[in-house]
Amino acid sequence: MIYGVPFEIITDNGQHFCSSLYESLLKLTQCCHVKTTPYNPQANGQCERHNATLVPNLVALSNQSRSNWDNKLAATTFNYNATRHDSTGYTPFELMFARQPRFTADLSSSSTSTSLTVSHYHHTMQQFIEHAKIAARTNNLRHQQSSKQRYDRHRSNPQHPVGELVLIRNRNPHINKFSSKFVGPYTIIDRLHDKTYLVKNDNT
């Protein structure tokens, strides 16, 4: 509840999001619970995109067994929030708090902070928020258009010949985020449709 009670929460269909305790909490706070369709991560694209960035950083900082990943979560999240995003032109920290984060390296700086009156600080923050809101929205739209053009330019309908070895996305609902995302290899034995293939596991 750091930022207050949310109006809406979007989740997947994980057991912890479908429990009676969780539903009771949502009912108590009058929060709307929206669930994505199964096996459709695109329905919660912002969250999935964030996890796609966060998880590799956690893996890099965690031990070999990945058992201490939760100890690295705070540092990894702060690093993400303090990094400027091309899509907005700002760091998430700036957009949230209307100021730059303070780093440990700043402790040795000889520069002194400027003292502001409450009214001056309030006016300055309001100006920054209004400017950042417009600039971030404009930058984000421009970035989306650029990404779409780049994606469409190189998009093709891949053709896989019979006999080719392929990997299949792991759809096991019990795997965690640090498990392998693909299983195989499998051998293509027939092409049933434009994007549908029949494969076999050579190990079985």
Average pLDDT of 139-153?
82
pLDDT of residue 193: 82
If pLDDT is split at 50, 70 and 90, which confidence band does 8 have? very high
Residue 28 reports pLDDT greater than 90 = yes
% residues pLDDT > 90 (the chain): 15
Q: pLDDT (tens digit, 9 = 90+) per residue, 175-202?
A: 676 677 788 889 999 988 877 889 998 7
Average pLDDT of 62-84?
86
Instruction: Concatenate the DSSP letters of all residues of the chain into one string.
Output: -TT---SEEEE---GGGSSHHHHHHHHHTT-EEEEPPTT-GGGGHHHHHHHHHHHHHHHHHS-TT-TTGGGGHHHHHHHHHTSPPTTTSS-HHHHHHSSPPPPGGGGG----PPP--HHHHHHHHHHHHHHHHHHHHHHHHHHHHHHHHHHHHH-------TT-EEEEE---TT--TTS-SEEEEEEEEEE-SSS-EEEE-TT-
Residue 58 reports pLDDT greater than 60 = yes
Q: How is the chain split into domains, by residue range?
A: 83-102+118-155, 165-200
On whether the pTM is more than 0.95, the answer is no
Residue 1 reports pLDDT greater than 60 = no
pLDDT of residue 143: 83
Q: What is the rounded distance in angstroms from the CA atom of residue 11 to the CA atom of residue 44? A: 8
